[in-house]
Amino acid sequence: MRHVAAYLLCVLGGKANPSADDIKKVITSIEGEADDAQIAALLEAVKGKTADEVLAAGKEKLSTIKVGGGGGEEEKKEEEEEEEEIDMGGGADMFGGGDEDY
């Protein structure tokens, strides 16, 4: 990642096509270690492209990645438990009467 960051810093500094030495210079300026193989792979990957093209392609790839807390998953429907009516028996209502109408 540091190699990509150094590459982009070189571009922001005015070098449209930074060389391996430019990238190494940025990394070593902060006492980091530059890996020649990674720098070569990076330069091969961006060969013939501008930094804007590379960033646009990366942005396009990132837009296809699903991340987050499962917002795309179907929610499980919880079944509501029905309350059972308890038959107290005896035919009496709350006021002590039966089935009589007054």
54-87 residue pLDDT tens: 999 989 998 898 887 665 556 566 666 667 776 6
Domains, the chain: 2-62 (1.10.10.1410)
Under DSSP, is residue 24 helix (H, G, I), strand (E, B) or coil? helix
Question: What mean pLDDT value characterizes the chain?
Answer: 83
Residue 94: what pLDDT? Answer: 64
Whole-structure pTM value: 0.60
Q: What are phi and psi of 95, to 5 degrees?
A: -100, 10
Residues in Cβ contact with 46 at an 8 Å cutoff, skipping those fewer than 6 apart: 7, 54
Return d(Cα 27, Cα 5) in angstroms, integer: 9
Residue 39: what pLDDT? Answer: 96
